[in-house]
């Protein structure tokens, strides 16, 4: 009898617990719907990387290889069969070794401005998602590619107020169609200095050095310290001797024209703050320079030329994870509010969603290198989504409507999937990924057979050839589709078919953020 009574009481308590649980679930659902969230109020904190998303893992391995395709200099452990040593004498006229670094695109020029941006973005990707890269064995290749660039940047900065920002003459280089291994065009050097300043390129190089110093901090302390010393010097040079490199070197306006240097100063100072914790850099971005250059509340597109959106997301990191005193800084909050405006502009269901999209939903801003902006925007969206997850920030308000971290991630996935083949052309714009991708990429080395004997001018036959490229520029992200979502796969179509190294850095960051379901670490210092 007594046992039976206990059983009845146990059953009674079970019923009560079930009812309580159901009520709790209903309350959570009600609260979630009430505030417009697409996930529970409390989100997971970072732990071990989640299950690998095979598609993105495979794509990441493919994308990473384009850094090997673009390497200049004496190739070590060369993984690209049709590539060999090239540009071994670069810098020799100034008694410098500028043989390393990476070619910018399908030609053989080394432009310091976009190359430094490539290094900064790659550093950021490693710092946030290195553990996820490791799940598909891509962390070491990413670190090696980064060092190939930073080795070059160190040598390009021989004294505190001198930075070599270009190797090669664009006019002469573009008169040739040849392989980098056999190129014969002269390789002049271009520098910025106190009499010919280049604030944006010096500041971007400082950002690259500062961010990379964090990557190598636990791997090679001496190298990390050297990078940080260069970063300090370059930032001081950039800030003290203000002037656009587009004015000092008018020739660059045809290739990588700068629209202003204020964003690079804030970007570099933000990275130096992360690398050092020095309050002076925080004061720099939140003080008068922030007021002068930040354009708070005005969404912008993240690219090699404009770093404002990237700076806003990077400084939002401080707002999410910094001390209460720092996080409550009024102007730091202005950066975060601006980052939120950028995110709201990307979300297709937001009241403030940008109309700069194709019919299928791809962000589309420019006919030249059209994939730059959707990939760059998606990288920032994944980062911001993970900052929200890690900090258990449940919602983002867009002009009265609320969105959660999963909404940002869903947007980023839509853009990544478009690049990987979910588009009207049913073509992957990542060369080497999927069953169908561009075969006539505008890339000299890929278009000329490895055993061909060509000089500067007799290689043009390979540009005009109707045959697909004999070599696959594996990992290249081509320029991308037109606004009407068509793509003409022609070697002469450089507007759509030429890849760039910085596009690769951005998609590596995006894919690394999607390869597993893990959120970011609170600190990477």
Write the DSSP string, 454-493: --SSTTHHHHH-SSPPSS--TT-B-----TTS-----TT-
Question: Of 157, 232, 373, 442, which one is the catalytic site residue?
Answer: 442
State how far the Cα of 424 lies from the Cα of 417, in Å rounded to an integer: 12
- What is the 8-class DSSP label of residue 219? T
State how far the Cα of 135 lies from the Cα of 72, in Å rounded to an integer: 28
247 is catalytic: no
Same-domain check for residues 111 and 240: yes
The verdict on residue 140 lying in a domain is yes
The verdict on residue 314 lying in a domain is yes
Residues 6 or more apart in contact with residue 350 via CB below 8 angstroms: 344, 398, 399, 401, 403
Please check whether residue 252 is in contact with residue 246, taking contact to mean a CB–CB distance below 8 angstroms: yes
The verdict on residue 522 lying in a domain is no
State how far the Cα of 307 lies from the Cα of 202, in Å rounded to an integer: 14
Same-domain check for residues 346 and 455: yes
Cα dihedral 358/361/366/371 (nearest 10): -130
The verdict on residue 258 lying in a domain is yes
Bridge partner list, 397: 402
CB atoms closer than 10 angstroms to residue 484: 9
State how far the Cα of 63 lies from the Cα of 30, in Å rounded to an integer: 43
The verdict on residue 468 lying in a domain is yes
CA distances from 142 to 2, 64, 131, 300 (A): 69, 7, 12, 28
SS3 content of the chain, % helix, strand, coil (to 5): 50, 5, 45
Same-domain check for residues 279 and 316: yes
Cα dihedral 64/65/69/70 (nearest 10): 10
CB atoms closer than 10 angstroms to residue 134: 15
CA atoms within 13 A on the CB side of 174: 8
- What is the 8-class DSSP label of residue 166? E
Classify the C-alpha dihedral 123-129-130-133 as positive or negative. negative
Q: Which domain holds residue 7?
A: 1-34
Query: Which contiguous run of DSSP H or E holds residue 384?
Result: helix 372-390
The verdict on residue 372 lying in a domain is yes
Residues 6 or more apart in contact with residue 144 via CB below 8 angstroms: none
3-state secondary structure of 292: helix
Same-domain check for residues 25 and 93: no
* pLDDT tens, N- to C-terminus, the chain (525 residues): 333 333 333 344 433 333 334 434 333 333 333 333 334 443 455 566 778 889 999 999 999 999 999 999 999 899 999 999 999 999 999 999 999 999 999 999 999 999 999 999 999 999 999 999 999 999 999 999 999 999 999 999 999 999 999 999 999 999 999 999 999 889 999 999 999 999 999 999 999 999 999 999 999 999 999 999 999 999 999 999 999 999 999 999 999 999 999 999 999 999 999 999 999 999 999 999 999 999 999 999 999 999 999 999 999 999 999 888 898 899 999 999 999 999 999 999 999 999 999 999 999 999 999 999 999 999 999 999 999 999 999 999 999 999 999 999 999 999 999 999 999 999 999 999 999 999 999 999 999 999 998 888 889 999 999 999 999 999 999 999 999 999 999 999 999 999 999 999 999 999 999 999 878 988 886
Same-domain check for residues 206 and 61: yes
Q: Indicate the number of domains in the chain.
A: 2
Please check whether residue 256 is in contact with residue 165, taking contact to mean a CB–CB distance below 8 angstroms: no
Same-domain check for residues 154 and 46: yes
* Predicted TM-score (pTM) of this structure: 0.91
Q: How large is the greatest C-alpha to C-alpha distance in the chain, in angstroms?
A: 103
The verdict on residue 519 lying in a domain is no
Same-domain check for residues 11 and 108: no
Please check whether residue 67 is in contact with residue 101, taking contact to mean a CB–CB distance below 8 angstroms: no
Same-domain check for residues 5 and 53: no
Cα dihedral 119/69/378/293 (nearest 10): 30
State how far the Cα of 78 lies from the Cα of 135, in Å rounded to an integer: 23
3-state secondary structure of 13: helix
The verdict on residue 523 lying in a domain is no
CB atoms closer than 10 angstroms to residue 140: 10
State how far the Cα of 294 lies from the Cα of 312, in Å rounded to an integer: 9
Same-domain check for residues 130 and 11: no
Same-domain check for residues 145 and 231: yes
Please check whether residue 289 is in contact with residue 266, taking contact to mean a CB–CB distance below 8 angstroms: yes
Same-domain check for residues 122 and 17: no
CB atoms closer than 10 angstroms to residue 254: 10
Please check whether residue 140 is in contact with residue 475, taking contact to mean a CB–CB distance below 8 angstroms: no
Please check whether residue 504 is in contact with residue 66, taking contact to mean a CB–CB distance below 8 angstroms: yes
Same-domain check for residues 458 and 366: yes
Strands 163-167 and 110-111: antiparallel
> What's the CATH number where 151 sits?
1.50.10.10
């Amino acid at each position: 009898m007594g046992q039976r009574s206990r059983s009845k009481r146990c059953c009674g308590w079970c019923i009560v617990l079930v009812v309580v649980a159901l009520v709790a679930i209903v309350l959570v659902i009600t609260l979630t719907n009430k505030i417009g969230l697409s996930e529970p109020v409390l989100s997971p904190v970072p732990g071990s990387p989640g299950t690998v998303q095979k598609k993105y893992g495979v794509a990441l391995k493919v994308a990473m290889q384009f850094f090997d395709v673009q390497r200049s200099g004496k190739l070590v452990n060369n993984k690209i069969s049709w590539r060999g040593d090239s540009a071994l004498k670069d810098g020799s006229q100034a008694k410098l070794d500028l043989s390393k670094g990476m070619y910018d695109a399908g030609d053989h020029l080394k432009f310091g401005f976009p190359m430094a941006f490539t290094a900064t973005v790659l550093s950021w990707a490693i710092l946030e998602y290195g553990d996820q890269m490791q799940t598909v064995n891509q962390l070491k290749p990413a670190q090696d590619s980064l060092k190939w660039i930073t080795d070059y940047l160190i040598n390009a900065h021989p004294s505190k107020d001198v930075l070599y920002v270009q190797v090669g003459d664009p006019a002469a280089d573009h008169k040739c169609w040849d392989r980098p291994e056999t190129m014969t065009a002269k390789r002049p050097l271009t520098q910025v200095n106190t009499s010919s300043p280049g604030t944006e390129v010096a500041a971007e190089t400082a950002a690259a050095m500062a961010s990379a110093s964090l990557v190598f901090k636990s791997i090679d302390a001496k190298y990390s310290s050297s990078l940080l010393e260069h970063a300090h010097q370059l930032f001081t040079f950039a800030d003290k001797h203000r002037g656009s490199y587009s004015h000092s070197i008018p020739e660059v306006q045809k290739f990588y024209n700068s629209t202003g240097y204020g964003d690079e100063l804030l970007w570099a100072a933000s990275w130096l703050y992360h690398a050092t914790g020095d309050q002076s850099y925080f004061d720099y971005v939140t003080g008068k320079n922030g007021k002068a250059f930040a354009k708070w509340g005005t969404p912008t597109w993240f690219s090699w030329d404009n770093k404002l959106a990237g700076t806003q997301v990077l400084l939002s990191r401080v707002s999410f994870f910094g001390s209460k005193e720092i996080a409550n800084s009024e102007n730091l909050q202005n950066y975060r509010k601006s980052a939120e405006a950028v995110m709201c502009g990307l979300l297709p269901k937001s009241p403030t969603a940008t109309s700069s999209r194709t019919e299928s939903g791809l962000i589309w801003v420019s006919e030249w290198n059209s994939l730059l902006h959707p990939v760059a925007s998606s990288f920032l969206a994944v980062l911001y989504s993970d900052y929200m997850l890690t900090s258990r920030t449940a919602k983002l308000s867009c002009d009265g409507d609320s969105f959660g971290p999963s909404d940002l991630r869903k947007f980023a996935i839509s853009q990544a999937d478009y690049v990987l083949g979910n588009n009207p052309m049913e073509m992957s714009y990542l060369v080497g990924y999927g069953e169908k991708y561009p075969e006539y990429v505008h890339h000299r080395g890929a278009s000329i057979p490895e055993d061909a004997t060509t000089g500067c001018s007799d290689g043009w036959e390979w540009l005009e050839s109707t045959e697909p490229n004999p070599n696959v520029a594996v990992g290249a992200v081509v320029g991308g589709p037109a606004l009407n979502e068509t793509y003409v796969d022609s070697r002469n179509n450089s507007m759509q078919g030429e890849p760039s190294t910085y596009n690769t850095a951005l998609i590596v960051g995006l894919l690394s953020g999607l390869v597993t379901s893990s959120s970011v670490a609170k600190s990477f210092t």
